[in-house]
Amino acid sequence: MTKPESEITWKDVDIGGIVTEPGNAVQYKTGEWRSQRPIFDKDKCTKCGLCYLYCPEGCIYQTDDGYFEVDLFYCKGCGICANECPPKASAITMVEEEE
């Protein structure tokens, strides 16, 4: 289904709801579920990569300069990255999403 979900009509539904486009789960915006977002502080970050390893959504990635960023399209705001960031660094804080 190439249309956004909110525009799909019943006539667009494939036989038995079969998905014919492999890998289209990347279009599913799980970021909408988030009530908190992680903020990364580059001054404190030691580039250890624990946030990247622990992220259950796989939406934290390393940039060219070695620091880490989050893809907010997928980030559900679970806070595991902030929890796993070593206490000596505490480079990630969770902040409330504004309405």
Q: What whole-number distance in Å separates Cα of residue 25 and Cα of residue 15?
A: 18
CB of 65 to another protein, least distance (A): 37
Which residues fall within 8 angstroms of residue 54, CB to CB, at 6 or more apart? 80, 81, 84
Binding mask of the shown chain, residues 46 to 85, with x at each position contacting another protein by CB under 8 A: ----------------------------------------
Binding mask of the shown chain, residues 11 to 50, with x at each position contacting another protein by CB under 8 A: xxxxxxxxxx-x----------------------------
Q: What whole-number distance in Å separates Cα of residue 40 and Cα of residue 63?
A: 13
CB of 73 to another protein, least distance (A): 16
CA distances from 23 to 12, 20, 26, 33 (A): 19, 9, 7, 21
Binding site for another protein (CB under 8 A): 5-6, 8-20, 22
